[in-house]
Structure 1
């Protein structure tokens, strides 16, 4: 059965990707603002509000009893996924603040924001040799590349976890099979022991009966010898 938590997480991640695309479209097409830029900004704010609700729901369900079967390692992995997505949401909220170009560049570089959140470029602060040569549009493209690299790394981690999960399930199935074989072996041993005990009882009975028959045969032979002796003695007595 599909993991509903992971399905909800994928929906939240898709919402974040759609919002980021809208922000980049607004910044690239309408750098000076205007009605269309305001419309896109309002749409992005609504999406980020929805994303915040999804993240809160995911966090609540992750700590709730419905996922109590998760291992601690898997639970921590999912907490990291939520933390990464929440940081991305905060970065996009910062990117929506259409301030002066210098301030906007500071947001893109990961400088201090009103909410004190990490920047879009992995939380780095200040100019670097790479960003110093880029304009705001170049910074947006670099931001997109960094976030895509993060997505790829998370997807690779997720595939590794799923592969480990499948291996664990196969090991569990093998262990169950071996347990069933051991149970069958125990039943066979118990059956063999029962049959052996019955055979021993029958053997003892036969031996007892055989002992009785030998005594009767011996008495019969003794009686027969006595009869023969008497007959011979009687015949000799007649002849004499």
Structure 2
């Protein structure tokens, strides 16, 4: 008795499972490849990108799943089964990321913050009058501004590091060209 939203969840889940299987196969190919040449690096980069895409899909599935019970589209037993399926796939994804030393993948929340803030704001706002909502909005905007200021500092710091690396590379290039024997 699943509705179209439930069916779309299963379709999305099946696509995510196929992607996970594809990634698993690519990791197996990576271990079979020898060396660390450009092809191997390209392959490694492709696997990392796919793992990131899979993580985003799992976040989307989790969001869709959290909306299903409120609409009474699936039974509680089915909801728990899907929750377990999603948890198992997320564990498998984290294991694949660990295999590739993508330690920051599992800790994305530490970089971006948990996604529950918007849900909390909605539930808090549902109990407020207009003035309370405006006050909450100002508070949230202030928090976002502070987050943007931290991001700006990080970007500026990264820019300075990149410029220093560029200067160092230019120096090394000049030294190499200067001491290269003319043929």
CA distance in 2, matches of 1:77, 1:52: 20
Matches within 5 A, 1:1-240: 3-30=7-34, 32-65=35-68, 68-97=72-101
Extract unaligned runs of 5+ from structure 2: 107-183
Tell me which stretches of 4 or more aligned residues in structure 1 moved more than 6 Å.
Answer: none
Extract unaligned runs of 5+ from structure 1: 98-112, 118-240
Q: Secondary structure at the match of 1:62?
A: helix
TM-score (normalised: structure 2): 0.50
- Cα offset for 1:67? 5.2
Instruction: Between the two structures, name the one with larger relative contact order (CA 8 Å, sep ≥ 6).
Output: 2
Q: In structure 1, what is the equivalent of residue 136 of structure 2?
A: none
- Cα offset for 1:79? 0.5
Larger Rg: 1
TM-score (normalised: structure 1): 0.39
Preserved CA contact (<8 Å) 1:61 1:67:
no
Preserved CA contact (<8 Å) 2:62 2:86:
yes
CA distance in 2, matches of 1:33, 1:77: 42
Q: Secondary structure at the match of 1:38?
A: helix
Q: Secondary structure at the match of 1:70?
A: coil
CA distance in 1, matches of 2:94, 2:47: 12
CA distance in 2, matches of 1:83, 1:114: 18
Preserved CA contact (<8 Å) 1:48 1:89:
yes
